[in-house]
Amino acid sequence: MQIVSKVREPLVTGGKTYKDITEDVCRPVEGNPSMGWFAGMGLSLVLLLAGGYYLGDLLWSGIGRWGLNKTVQWAWDITNFVWWVGIGHAGTLISAVLLLFRQKWRTSINRAAEAMTIFAVICAAIWPVVHMGRPWIGGIWALPLPNTYGSLWVNFNSPLLWDVFAISTYFSVSLVFWFIGLVPDFATIRDRAIKPVPRLIYGMLSMGFNGSAKTWMHYEAVSLILAGLSTPLVLSVHTIVSMDFATSVIPGWHTTIFPPYFVAGAIFSGFAMVLTLMLVTRKLYKLEDYITMEHIEMMSLVVTITGSVVGIAYITEFVIAWYSGVEYEQYAFVNRMTGQYWWAYWSMMACNVISPQVFYVKKLRTNIPFIFFISIVVNIGMWFERFVIIVTSLHRDYLPSSWLYFHPTIYDVMCYVFTFGLFFTLFLAFAKYFPVVNMAEVKSVLKDSDSKVYKSRRTISNEVVPEADRVPVDL
């Protein structure tokens, strides 16, 4: 009897050897930047400088430059804060949770996803700091430190303070996890370096890593410990961010579904951003043999599943509002669909609920340009989700005389542009000076991806295996 195993596509294609992996991953770090890299960095710096001008003027003049009014006192600032925190969620999920579950398809994408997490959290942290109005004394307001203002202490019952601790913890653990994963690759670059300055810099970064069995044992133990510490953060960070709204009594915010709803949305938007970045990086650095269609399909399916969960959460919100019997709560959700911001609500539904469902079609989830387009659409939709939750719940107060419409100013837009410039500048600098793909972990799955092994198996593409290539298996 002959059986052909149904397994996934190999995680490394092209018949690569260990040496090939080292050469391919180190080439962008050791060589000169490409024209594509210079073009991307140039555009990022333009966005950074243009947005930085408006941000500097905002800090000088005050946040009255934003379009906030007496009714809508949270708008683009908090929308962008929550959006960037959500973007950073996929890095921890890929690096920590999938590591604990021994998912080998994470090996080629975890490095860039972890970097994305760190840079996204930096961008997110800008917004609450700027929103303080006087960030130069923000430490007195945000941290429980003795100060010269008398008995002025932070309110530990406020979820805004919980944000400070949650996000700082998330950033610290993610940064350590990311750096520990880089150490073996830094050692490889150090050993290959010819010029003294790169050898010195990467030698310091590699922290004496020598590749011995004992060193690898310590490295893997630390990685597992950090993965265990990071896993609760996948749930806790965006749960606490959601409590900024859920612990209030404002109709449209006061609901217990927000924590799981926000976590699912964060993973949804995070994976979409990973797709956006990795598809560009894959093409720019010629990493098609390492970031394969298998990786892209897996990420596309995660986007589809989390998008479906988010869609269920949208429907559940309406059911909860109806079941509550509170007319103000019911009006808040009807107003979202049919009020002045109907365009934002239906854009959110189209981008977040409808567009990811196309990935159920294999032909579409293996079409690179189409996947890139949908990944951008998803993150546009997730921005609209945060905007809808925040602004539509505020712009209709209990008093009709307080009803106002929020109009963003050029300062709202350009401060947002500044964070994009900062994010892509940091990511492109990372992609030039640090290895984008985790060499050590990719080499660990190379044996499983050997072309001789996969020659006799049917893959996820359902290709028919020729009779001559089938291997007899005795049962």
pLDDT value at 387 more than 60: yes
Q: What is the pLDDT of residues 329-357, one digit of tens each?
A: 899 899 999 989 999 999 999 999 999 99
In a domain, 8, yes or no: no
Query: What's the rounded mean pLDDT across residues 282-290?
Result: 87
In a domain, 470, yes or no: no
In a domain, 474, yes or no: no
In a domain, 464, yes or no: no
In a domain, 11, yes or no: no
Helix H, strand E, coil C: the string for the chain is CECCCECCCCCCCCCCCHHHHHHHHHHHHHCCCCHHHHHHHHHHHHHHHHHHHHHHHHHHHCHHHCCCCCCCCCCHHHHHHHHHHHHCHHHHHHHHHHHHCCCHHHCCCHHHHHHHHHHHHHHHHHHHHHHCCCHHHHHHHHCCCCCCCCCCCCCCCCHHHHHHHHHHHHHHHHHHHHHHHHHHHHHHHHHHCCCHHHHHHHHHHHCCCCCCHHHHHHHHHHHHHHHHHHHHHHHHHHHHHHHHHHCCCCCCCCCCCHHHHHHHHHHHHHHHHHHHHHHHHHHHCCCCCCCCHHHHHHHHHHHHHHHHHHHHHHHHHHHHHHHHCCHHHHHHHHHHHHCCCHHHHHHHHHHHHHHHHHHHCHHHHCCHHHHHHHHHHHHHHHHHHHHHHHHHHHCCCCCHHHCCCCCCCHHHHHHHHHHHHHHHHHHHHHHHHCCCCCHHHHHHCCHHHCHHHHCCCECCCCCCCCHHHCCECCC
Q: What is the pLDDT of residues 209-252, one digit of tens each?
A: 988 889 889 988 998 888 888 888 878 888 888 888 888 888 88
Q: What is the pLDDT of residues 73-107, one digit of tens each?
A: 888 888 999 999 988 877 777 778 878 877 788 88
In a domain, 456, yes or no: no
Q: Which domain holds residue 169?
A: 18-144+154-447
In a domain, 382, yes or no: yes
CATH for 52: 1.20.1630.10
Number of folded domains that form the chain: 1
In a domain, 35, yes or no: yes
- Give the integer Cα–Cα distance in Å for 291 and 279: 8
Q: What is the pLDDT of residues 251-271, one digit of tens each?
A: 888 888 888 888 888 889 888
What predicted TM-score, i.e. pTM, was given to this entire model? Answer: 0.86
Rounded to the nearest integer, the mean pLDDT of the chain is 84
Model pLDDT, residue 375: 92
